[in-house]
């Protein structure tokens, strides 16, 4: 099949499921991954014939998109904060809002004179995107990362190797962890925060593919992870240490007030690029 016919077939198959710009974006992402052709190369190779495994792989990817599998899982990787991360159904796909949280932390600490080595803990690391991005951009830091999922930790470890950083990975259930074994300058977490009642707002490609254990909390106790982590942080942050969270946009004030109850004197609620309450920074001073 010629590339121009492959493209037409691809667009026709997906046009009712996705926006036109998104379909074309998927096509060019797959062209680069499967065919080794960038967008500019495709334009000059429209009469090139694709067959065999490459054609089969392209068709399989199209079929998965018809089933609304995320393109990142189909390709097997995604970019986050300028780095490449392997992803599969065992980890959440990193999102731009989380990049904003990482950027906040990096800018806070790059603007400070560091007389000692930072110690950072990422709770619920998933793909490792937060921990690895911090390690890459704060090279003097010792970075630790916790997750309850053994499969997620396998992905995170592979991502650390791929991005050439050292992370101390630990398998722990934070809800059952009575205390942290060390003192940290930064504790950061993007824990599960989507309430069951918010499921109807989610796209099928997220709801049907990404790990629910990393997404959802009960309507009755939506702040369970934040409360648990805040209690641990209150005892395990170093002097002048900071706690950072990505949060549910609908529970910004509730999360901020809860954190203050644990003795944090300064709690800053920040909006993301979409003007939603999305991040919190807290310190005990």
pLDDT band at 203 (very low <50, low <70, confident <90, very high): confident
Please write the tens of the pLDDT for every residue from 72-114.
999 999 999 999 999 999 999 999 999 999 999 999 987 665 6
Answer with the one of 67, 97, 115 that is the final residue of a domain: 67
Answer with the one of 15, 37, 67 that is the final residue of a domain: 67
Note whether 135 and 167 are within 8 A (CB): yes
Nearest of 105, 98, 80, 96 to residue 268 by alpha carbon: 105
Answer with the one of 43, 67, 91 that is the final residue of a domain: 67
CA–CA gap between residue 84 and residue 159 (Å, rounded): 8
Nearest of 73, 83, 88, 69 to residue 33 by alpha carbon: 73
Please write the tens of the pLDDT for every residue from 140-171.
899 999 999 999 999 999 999 999 999 999 99
- pTM value is 0.91
Length of the chain: 285
Question: Among 22-31, 140-149, 213-222, where is mean pLDDT lowest?
Answer: 213-222
pLDDT of residue 113: 56
**148 and 250 belong to one structural domain:** yes
**141 and 12 belong to one structural domain:** no
**62 and 141 belong to one structural domain:** no
Structural domain contains residue 72: no
Question: Among 5-9, 25-29, 205-209, 257-261, where is mean pLDDT lowest?
Answer: 205-209
pLDDT band at 195 (very low <50, low <70, confident <90, very high): confident
Element (H, E) at 245: strand 237-246
The whole domain housing 161 covers 78-283
**211 and 134 belong to one structural domain:** yes
Mean pLDDT score of the chain, rounded to an integer?
93
Helix (H, G, I), strand (E, B) or coil at 222: coil
Please write the tens of the pLDDT for every residue from 256-279.
999 999 999 899 999 999 999 999
Element (H, E) at 168: strand 168-171
């Amino acid at each position: 099949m010629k590339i121009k016919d492959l493209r037409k077939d691809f667009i026709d198959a997906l046009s009712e499921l996705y926006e036109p710009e998104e379909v074309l974006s998927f096509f060019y992402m797959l062209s680069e991954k499967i065919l080794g052709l960038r967008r500019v190369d495709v334009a000059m190779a429209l009469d090139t014939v694709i067959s065999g495994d490459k054609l089969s792989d392209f068709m399989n990817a199209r079929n998965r998109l018809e089933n609304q599998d995320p393109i990142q899982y189909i390709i097997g990787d995604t970019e986050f904060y300028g780095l490449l991360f392997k992803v599969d159904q065992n980890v959440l796909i990193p999102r731009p809002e989380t990049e904003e949280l990482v950027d906040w932390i990096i800018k806070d600490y790059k603007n400070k004179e560091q007389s000692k080595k930072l110690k950072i803990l990422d709770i619920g690391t998933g793909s490792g995107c937060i921990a690895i991005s911090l390690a890459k951009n704060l090279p003097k830091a010792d970075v630790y990362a916790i997750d309850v999922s053994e499969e997620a930790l396998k992905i995170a470890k592979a991502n650390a190797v791929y991005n050439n950083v050292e992370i101390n990975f630990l398998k722990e259930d934070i809800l059952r962890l009575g205390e942290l074994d060390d003192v940290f300058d930064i504790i950061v977490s993007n824990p599960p925060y989507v309430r069951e009642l918010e499921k109807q707002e989610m796209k099928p490609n997220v709801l049907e593919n990404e790990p629910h254990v990393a997404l959802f909390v009960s309507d009755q106790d939506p702040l369970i992870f934040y409360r648990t982590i805040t209690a641990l942080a209150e005892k395990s942050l170093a002097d002048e240490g900071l706690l950072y969270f990505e949060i549910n946009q609908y529970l910004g004030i509730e999360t901020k007030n809860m954190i203050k109850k644990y003795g944090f004197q300064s709690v800053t609620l920040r909006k993301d690029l979409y003007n939603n309450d999305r991040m919190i920074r807290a310190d005990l001073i």
